[in-house]
Structure 1
Amino acid sequence: MDFFSKLNINEIGTTFAVLFAVIDILGSIPIIVGIRSKVGHIQSEKASLAAGILMISFLFFGTKILNLVGVDVQSFAVAGAFVIFIIALEMILGIEIQKGVEANSASIVPIAFPLVAGAGSLTTVLSLRSQYADINIVVAIILNMLIVYLVLKFAGKLEKWMGPGVLSVLKKVFGVILLSIAIKLFTSNIGALFMQEINL
């Protein structure tokens, strides 16, 4: 019950917006359309479910993986802030993030990974854990996967309806949001790292 008692609408909204910006599923519509034209069909349910499971698994087990290699959450959060910062700059400046496209098992690779649950989103999930409750991040991931599912299902129609201009504006707006989050993550965790070094 304690897990669910930490439900917070504001935290859900913030983590949802951050993950939505990092995943950038709307900005990936042209890529999705291109993949679908090559493979013929994308299993929307399979792709969104696989990406959601991967992100939630990394949320709960990512710290243990880090501990195995001797990295603490604060250090990872700072590293994540740099990754998010770079992604944000790419979105704002209109630089395309290179993503591999393979025809085999397209619903899982490259749609679920790395297009949706890529290095940026997995890093972000773990970085957010240093600031927000797990339940709120899980809800945000699930909500994002619902949007991913809908976008995958109707990618062709969305591309025609929104047009390149709207997609470009959305990418830049979420890029600015990401930039702000990256700065917040950095400033919130860098102090803790310095204190650890001083105590040592």
Structure 2
Amino acid sequence: MELNFKEILTATMVLFAVIDIIGSIPIIIDLRQKVGHIQSEKASIVAMLIMILFLFVGVQILNLIGIDVYSFAVAGSFVMFFLALEMILGVQLYKEDSPDTASVVPLAFPLIAGAGTMTTILSLKAEFQTINIIIAIIVNSIFVYAVLKSSTKIEKFIGKGGIGVVRKIFGVIVMAIAVKLFTSNIQGLFN
């Protein structure tokens, strides 16, 4: 186990792109309007723990229930695809029994530590040292916390119209990531 700055930086950037907390700001704002309060600390810590736990036992859990990484990734791509549809079309597909606060569901899981993030963690594990991935997860969790905490300020800065535009743009990006996740893993299912 050795610290490698290049690995930490690469893993941090890859996770940052997949978690896409900046692109999730419209969803976060929308959630806050529905539930009134977002538990930033709880959501960030739970998401970080889910990611670190999955780093160590992800493959074993999937194997235990008879699911390969490809199936997991393809399923994750569908979830991301439907989230993207919500963002682009302004429809609500994800319905929950009116939560009092937003923290664990849907923030920590599946928004931050979703199937895309889990799949990415598994592929990073194949290439990088575990300690470097853990540091990357911690760095991303701190950034997620900062964004969750300042979502009100970000909303005021961007404005209602700006958020609508950002939401649609990032919706297309999330959809593109979903399609990429699907296409790069669907071949593995048939091999």
What TM-score, normalized by structure 1, do the two folds share? 0.69
Distance 1:15 1:87, change over 3 A: farther
**Whole-Å separation in 2 of the counterparts to 1:35 and 1:148:** 15
Instruction: Note if 1:150 corresponds to 2:143.
Output: no
Asked if the contact 1:55–1:125 (Cα under 8 Å) also holds between the matched residues in 2, the reply is yes
Distance 1:87 1:108, change over 3 A: closer
Aligned to 2:13: 17
Aligned to 1:45: 41
**Whole-Å separation in 2 of the counterparts to 1:133 and 1:98:** 38
Residues 144-183 of structure 1: per-residue CA shift (max 9 Å, x gap): 111110111110211332444667767778988x69x96x
Instruction: Note if 1:103 corresponds to 2:99.
Output: yes
Aligned to 1:198: none
Instruction: Note if 1:76 corresponds to 2:69.
Output: yes
Asked if the contact 1:42–1:106 (Cα under 8 Å) also holds between the matched residues in 2, the reply is yes
Unaligned runs of 5+ in 2: none
Distance 1:38 1:167, change over 3 A: closer
Instruction: Note if 1:121 corresponds to 2:109.
Output: no
SS at match of 1:156: helix
**Whole-Å separation in 2 of the counterparts to 1:99 and 1:21:** 22
Counterpart AA for 2:140: N
Q: Quote the offset at 1:103 in angstroms.
A: 2.0
Residues 96-153 of structure 1: per-residue CA shift (max 9 Å, x gap): 7965554244211111111111121112111221121111111111111111101111
**Whole-Å separation in 2 of the counterparts to 1:135 and 1:111:** 25
Structure 1 residue corresponding to 2:24, chosen from 25, 28, 53: 28
Asked if the contact 1:48–1:145 (Cα under 8 Å) also holds between the matched residues in 2, the reply is yes
Asked if the contact 2:21–2:144 (Cα under 8 Å) also holds between the matched residues in 1, the reply is yes
Aligned to 1:8: 4
Aligned to 1:197: none
Residues 8-27 of structure 1: per-residue CA shift (max 9 Å, x gap): 11111111111111111111
State how many pairs are aligned: 182
SS at match of 1:32: helix
Unaligned runs of 5+ in 1: 195-200
Aligned to 1:62: 58
Percentage identity across paired residues of the two chains: 45
